[in-house]
Amino acid sequence: MAAMARLAKVRQDTAMAKARRLASEFAKAKDLNEQVIQYADQYGEAAVRVAQQGVSVAMLRDTMAFRVRLLAGAKDQELANADLFKRFQEANRDALSAKLKSQGLDRAMERRKREAEREAEQSEWQEIEDGFSHRKNPFAPSEEDAGTKDA
């Protein structure tokens, strides 16, 4: 049982580490995606400002195409982030399940330990009672005093 508890604890630690790693990856990917979207928006605003100052249509078209590619890449990354978030949620469920199993085994081991201690205490008390019951009582008639004595 102790080996099972240790194994459950190792699995719990592994699952929690995986969940933390995926959470970190998701946060980084989400932050990067938000930066790309923000950059694309700023790039588009800058392109509009430059266009108002008089720039060639081809240059404006290329600038806006680059912005569209940035936004398309961000959209693709959002799909990848959704998959990463799904894996993160699964890892969290696995970590919670491993934690509950580990706690259950810990409680079972504690219960068995308490039962063993209780049984040991009861057997100790039984030995003490047996010791008292087998002692000779000095006031009780003994087998030697039974019958008649020589006068």
Specify if 149 maps to a domain: no
Specify if 74 maps to a domain: yes
Q: Which residue has the tokens 């580490």?
A: 17
Specify if 138 maps to a domain: no
Alpha-carbon distance 72 to 92, whole Å?
A: 30
Model-wide pTM > 0.75: no
32-63 as b/e: b if 16+ CB within 10 A: ebeeebeebeebbeebeeeeeeeeeeeeeeeb
Give residue-wise pLDDT tens across range 23-35.
Answer: 999 999 999 999 9
Q: Which residue has the tokens 């949620």?
A: 89
- Domain hosting 25: range is 2-113
Averaged pLDDT for residues 102-116: 90
H/E element holding 49? Answer: helix 2-54
Give residue-wise pLDDT tens across range 64-105.
Answer: 899 999 999 999 999 999 999 999 999 999 999 998 888 888
Quote the crossing angle between the two packed helices 57-134 and 2-54, to the nearest 10°.
Answer: 160
